[in-house]
Amino acid sequence: MNRLYMVLIFLLVLILSYFAGMHAGTMRCHTKSALDTSKQQTKIIKIQGEINAETLHRTGDDIRRILREKYTITE
Protein backbone atom coordinates (compact mmCIF):
# COMPACT_ATOMS: atom_id res chain seq x y z
CA MET A 1 0.00 0.00 0.00
CA ASN A 2 2.89 2.35 0.76
CA ARG A 3 4.28 1.86 -2.73
CA LEU A 4 0.94 2.78 -4.25
CA TYR A 5 0.89 6.02 -2.26
CA MET A 6 4.46 6.82 -3.28
CA VAL A 7 3.65 6.26 -6.96
CA LEU A 8 0.53 8.44 -6.70
CA ILE A 9 2.45 11.23 -4.94
CA PHE A 10 5.18 11.03 -7.60
CA LEU A 11 2.59 11.28 -10.39
CA LEU A 12 0.88 14.19 -8.65
CA VAL A 13 4.19 16.05 -8.30
CA LEU A 14 5.01 15.34 -11.95
CA ILE A 15 1.63 16.64 -13.16
CA LEU A 16 1.81 19.74 -10.95
CA SER A 17 5.33 20.55 -12.14
CA TYR A 18 4.17 20.22 -15.76
CA PHE A 19 1.36 22.74 -15.22
CA ALA A 20 3.64 25.08 -13.25
CA GLY A 21 6.15 25.02 -16.12
CA MET A 22 3.40 25.68 -18.64
CA HIS A 23 2.21 28.66 -16.58
CA ALA A 24 5.75 30.03 -16.26
CA GLY A 25 6.23 29.76 -20.04
CA THR A 26 2.97 31.58 -20.69
CA MET A 27 3.95 34.39 -18.30
CA ARG A 28 7.38 34.69 -19.98
CA CYS A 29 5.68 34.94 -23.38
CA HIS A 30 3.30 37.65 -22.17
CA THR A 31 6.18 39.60 -20.64
CA LYS A 32 8.24 39.42 -23.82
CA SER A 33 5.26 40.47 -25.93
CA ALA A 34 4.55 43.48 -23.70
CA LEU A 35 8.22 44.50 -23.80
CA ASP A 36 8.33 44.27 -27.61
CA THR A 37 5.16 46.35 -27.89
CA SER A 38 6.60 48.97 -25.56
CA LYS A 39 9.82 49.18 -27.60
CA GLN A 40 7.84 49.59 -30.84
CA GLN A 41 5.70 52.37 -29.34
CA THR A 42 8.80 54.16 -28.07
CA LYS A 43 10.37 53.94 -31.52
CA ILE A 44 7.22 55.32 -33.18
CA ILE A 45 7.04 58.22 -30.71
CA LYS A 46 10.69 59.05 -31.36
CA ILE A 47 10.16 59.05 -35.14
CA GLN A 48 7.06 61.24 -34.79
CA GLY A 49 9.02 63.68 -32.63
CA GLU A 50 11.78 63.96 -35.23
CA ILE A 51 9.25 64.54 -38.00
CA ASN A 52 7.37 67.13 -35.97
CA ALA A 53 10.59 68.95 -35.07
CA GLU A 54 11.63 69.14 -38.73
CA THR A 55 8.17 70.32 -39.78
CA LEU A 56 8.01 73.04 -37.12
CA HIS A 57 11.42 74.45 -38.08
CA ARG A 58 10.34 75.09 -41.65
CA THR A 59 8.54 78.32 -42.37
CA GLY A 60 5.72 78.92 -44.81
CA ASP A 61 8.05 80.67 -47.25
CA ASP A 62 10.38 77.70 -47.35
CA ILE A 63 7.53 75.31 -48.10
CA ARG A 64 6.16 77.60 -50.83
CA ARG A 65 9.62 77.89 -52.38
CA ILE A 66 10.11 74.13 -52.45
CA LEU A 67 6.66 73.57 -53.96
CA ARG A 68 7.27 76.28 -56.57
CA GLU A 69 10.61 74.73 -57.58
CA LYS A 70 9.27 71.20 -57.85
CA TYR A 71 5.82 71.76 -59.32
CA THR A 72 5.96 74.70 -61.73
CA ILE A 73 5.01 74.31 -65.34
CA THR A 74 8.17 74.45 -67.39
CA GLU A 75 8.07 75.82 -70.89
Instruction: Judge whether residue 75 has pLDDT over 60.
Output: no
Running DSSP on this structure, what letter comes out for residue 1? -
State the pLDDT confidence band at 73, using cuts at 50, 70 and 90.
low
Q: What is the rounded distance in angstroms from the CA atom of residue 51 to the CA atom of residue 42?
A: 14
Query: pTM for the complete prediction?
Result: 0.56
Integer-rounded Cα radius of gyration of the chain = 31
Alpha-carbon span 51 to 32, nearest angstrom: 29
pLDDT at position 18? 97
